[in-house]
Amino acid sequence: MTAAIFANATGIGGAIAVFRMSGSDIARIMCTLTGGMPAPRRASLRRLRDGSGTTIDHGLVLWFPGPASVTGEDYAECHLHGGRAVAAALTKALIALGARPAEPGEFSRRAFGNGKLDLLQAEGIADLIAAETESQRRLALDQADGAMSASIAAWRNELIGLMARQAALIDFADEDLPPEVERAMLRDVACLHHDITNAIAGGRAAERIREGIEIVVLGAPNAGKSTLVNALAGEDVAIVSEIAGTTRDVIGVRLDLGGVPVRLVDTAGVRLARDEIEAEGVRRAEAAASRADIVLLCAASPDFAAPSVPDNRCVLHVATKADLGGAIPAGSLPVSARTGAGLPALIAAVTGEVAALVARGAGPSLPRPRQIACLRDMAAALERAIGVAEPELRAADFQEAANALARLTGVIGVEDVLDQVFSSFCIGK
């Protein structure tokens, strides 16, 4: 027996309110609300009444008997007018009939528990709800649709086969099996390890899509950084002044660049600081540049002097205030944020760098740190298996790899991990 739960999945104040219900007692509750059970999987127009017979509203109701439902248990929906009073009346009636409001993610948690989706698909649903850009939507939809789960299921089958072959080598150690059998198995282990490491590498690009690309604008004081940030953002997000050192802290704005989420960051001018506040601003600017995915290194006309940046960053050299004249340094993109000259070329260059950073391979791309950690544990176990000679130790490494893969999809998992995943959902999911 599972408690009957409900949630207004559309929020308050829209034209239509959709109430979702799930649990073992939903059939009785729906019968009371609608005066009789509607036909399964067909929308029916009904008058909804509370337990005392008072009309709540007219609306569409749908009934999905379990286990053939989205949650794997009895499930229903009521589509009503979206006014606050209607929602309040239905909420009161449902509570009086024994249902309770759902916790965040509880519908998806029940679907997971009943085998309707695995943990990867559940996380994909959460990411789809939170998606702000086209690339985030596509990545999350692939995961929610089970595309990644299908690839991982293939890894699972390969690993099961390896474990079975290793068990045979242990059980028939006295049969003098030819060495080619073990060598062939180790080649297959190496191939699986290669696939996992490729997926780990692709996970960095997927993580950037999910979390966003960090682009830091760096330069000396009065290099036109804030003006450039405002021009790229299309709004005044940073204070612009002819007084050097106006920007004292890190200021960020979210952008959608070619369908990829980007955080564009303005920083304090980098120079030998004149006071403690400016020194802290310079330190923060340098720290932001060291963490950035892309650095726009600004140098202003006429001398185009610029500070140094970490060698491991992707750096685009921008010659700002190009409308004031001066010889543009080789390899720099001339830009005048005041006139707009050069901005399209700069945006195209940045968009190209962003696209390269989020380019994914053909295999599954897992964007969450938890998922990448599971893959790393699996890869480490397979690497150990390749390097050991004792069959029993290799079998133990295979088992560790299998446990890591099971944690990835939630076949086995720690309860606090599952609680953390599903608590991030919104009410009604």
pTM of the model: 0.73
Specify whether 124 is located in the same domain as 70. no
Q: What is the reported pLDDT for 276?
A: 74
> Which CATH number characterizes residue 309's domain?
3.40.50.300
How far apart are alpha carbons 106 and 92 in whole angstroms? 20
How far apart are alpha carbons 230 and 188 in whole angstroms? 54
Q: What is the reported pLDDT for 176?
A: 62
Q: What is the reported pLDDT for 229?
A: 84
The residue among 156, 211, 106 whose CA lies nearest residue 378 is: 156
C-alpha distances in angstroms, 166 versus 72, 159, 181, 245? Answer: 37, 10, 10, 67
Specify whether 319 is located in the same domain as 399. no
Specify whether 144 is located in the same domain as 201. yes
> Which CATH number characterizes residue 172's domain?
1.20.120.430
Specify if 429 maps to a domain: no
Specify whether 233 is located in the same domain as 300. yes
Specify whether 234 is located in the same domain as 272. yes
**Residues in the annotated binding site for K(+):** 222, 241, 243, 246
Specify if 110 maps to a domain: no
DSSP string, 178-225: -HHHHHHHHHHHHHHHHHHHHHHHHHHHHHHHHH-EEEEEEESTTSSH
**Residues in the annotated binding site for (6S)-5-formyl-5,6,7,8-tetrahydrofolate:** 20, 77, 116, 429
Q: What is the reported pLDDT for 248?
A: 47
* Structure-token match 């692709």, residue found: 202
In contact, 360 and 216? CB cutoff 8 Å: no
Specify if 363 maps to a domain: no
Specify if 108 maps to a domain: no
Specify whether 224 is located in the same domain as 160. no
Q: What is the reported pLDDT for 239?
A: 45
Domain count, the chain: 3
How far apart are alpha carbons 147 and 49 in whole angstroms? 43
Specify if 164 maps to a domain: yes
Range of the domain at 203: 120-208+368-423
Tokens coding 307: 């500070």
Specify if 115 maps to a domain: no
Sign of CA dihedral 110, 115, 118, 119: positive
DSSP string, 141-182: HHHHTTHHHHHHHHHHHHHHHHHHHHHHHHHTGGG---HHHH
Specify if 112 maps to a domain: no
**Residues in the annotated binding site for Mg(2+):** 226, 247
Q: What is the reported pLDDT for 274?
A: 67
**Residues in the annotated binding site:** 20, 77, 116, 222-227, 241-247, 266-269, 336-338, 429
**Residues in the annotated binding site for GTP:** 222-227, 241-247, 266-269, 336-338
Q: What is the reported pLDDT for 19?
A: 96
In contact, 152 and 407? CB cutoff 8 Å: no
> Which CATH number characterizes residue 38's domain?
3.30.1360.120
Sign of CA dihedral 323, 340, 316, 300: positive
Q: What is the reported pLDDT for 425?
A: 63
Q: What is the reported pLDDT for 106?
A: 92
pLDDT tens, position by position, 144-182: 888 888 888 899 889 888 888 888 777 765 566 667 778
pLDDT in tens, the chain (429 residues): 789 999 999 877 788 999 999 999 999 999 999 998 889 999 999 999 998 999 999 999 999 999 999 999 999 999 999 999 999 999 999 999 999 999 988 999 999 889 898 888 888 988 998 888 888 898 889 888 888 888 888 998 898 888 888 887 777 655 666 677 788 889 999 999 999 998 888 888 888 888 888 998 888 888 888 888 888 877 655 444 444 444 445 677 888 888 888 888 888 877 666 667 767 777 888 788 888 889 998 888 777 777 777 666 688 898 888 888 777 888 888 988 878 888 899 899 999 999 888 886 666 678 888 899 999 999 999 999 999 888 889 989 999 999 999 888 877 555 555 565 566 666 666
Q: Cis ω on the peptide bond leading into residue 302 (within 30° of 0)?
A: yes
Specify whether 343 is located in the same domain as 255. yes
DSSP state letter for 240: -
Q: What is the reported pLDDT for 415?
A: 56
- Residue environment code for 98-125, b if the CB has 16+ CB neighbours within 10 A, otherwise e: ebeebebbbbbbbbbebebbbbbbbbbb
pLDDT tens, position by position, 54-103: 999 999 999 999 999 999 999 999 999 999 999 999 999 999 999 999 99
Specify whether 56 is located in the same domain as 176. no
